[in-house]
Amino acid sequence: MAKHKRIFAHSRHFENYLANCSATHKFFYMENPKVACTTIKRVLQLIEVDGDESKLSPNVHDRKLSPLTNLEKINVNQDVIFHGDEFFRFSFVRNPFTRILSAYLDKIAPPKRSDIREKININFDGVSFKEFLNKLKEGNNIKIDIHWVPQHFLLQPRRAHYHFIGRFEYFQTDFQKVIKRISPLVDQKILDLKLDYHGRGADQLSEQYIGKEERDLILKMYEKDFLSFGYGEDPRNFA
């Protein structure tokens, strides 16, 4: 096991869950929740087992059964992973407006997700999007759960030295670039895989949920995401 240096600012628990490494195909993918991570991980897992889906857990998020390893367990020095070009480092980002709305629709609005709501002391059903955003403003709530942690904090682009940061808004094109880099001869059936376990259509619902107050709250809380990844301040223009 290689010596584990601290690259990311969040907890070891978050890091071990979100970091996906392959010593075979020499890539490092930092998962960004609510940014097509389910699809990305399943495709990467299939590449790792040469397309044999029978070797994979039905639960794509089960790290214990994933063929991809994390930074603590991979037997590669982290200087090799995070410096130079031997390992291809990548992630994906999303417009902060639709990412946080997607998190709300998937994790907060449904009554069944009371476990996540309780993390920020929401103990009632029917909480509005604005109420949720105001809760995130309190204390350290914005960093409690990976589904709404600011993307610049999660990815640490200045420290991880990514070769490529794709965009959710251009996912099909950008993910093809990633696959060509890490596995150019991959079976097209793997690339055609479409998994959307948690899709909530946030892009199409933005006008319904994001008014001036919601817009101003998101711009303030995710200011560094807008600046770091070049997204504009108009919630109707996602790219």
The predicted pLDDT at position 195 comes to 53
Q: Does residue 1 surpass a pLDDT of 50?
A: no
- 202, 72 in Cβ contact below 8 A? no
Which residues make Cβ contacts (< 8 Å) with residue 224, sequence separation at least 6? Answer: 150, 152, 153
Pairing status of strand 27-30 against strand 19-22:
antiparallel
As a whole number of angstroms, the distance between CA 210 and CA 98 comes to 9
Q: Does residue 176 surpass a pLDDT of 60?
A: yes
**Domain residues of the chain, as ranges?**
12-229
As a whole number of angstroms, the distance between CA 170 and CA 94 comes to 10
Q: Does residue 53 surpass a pLDDT of 80?
A: yes
Token readout for 1 is 């096991």
Residues 62-85 have pLDDT tens digits of 999 999 999 989 999 999 999 999
Higher pLDDT, 61 or 237: 61
Mean per-residue pLDDT over the chain, rounded: 89
Token readout for 80 is 């090799």
DSSP, collapsed to helix, strand or coil, labels residue 28 as strand
CB environment 73-82: b (16+ within 10 A), e (fewer): ebebebeebb
The predicted pLDDT at position 83 comes to 93
Amino acid, single-letter form, for residue 54: S
Pairing status of strand 27-30 against strand 164-167:
unpaired
140-165 mean pLDDT = 94
Residues 91-130 have pLDDT tens digits of 999 999 999 999 999 989 877 667 888 889 887 778 899 9
Helix 171-182 and helix 37-48, axial crossing angle in degrees, nearest 10: 20
Q: Does residue 231 surpass a pLDDT of 90?
A: yes
Nearest CA to 70 out of 8, 128, 112 is that of 8
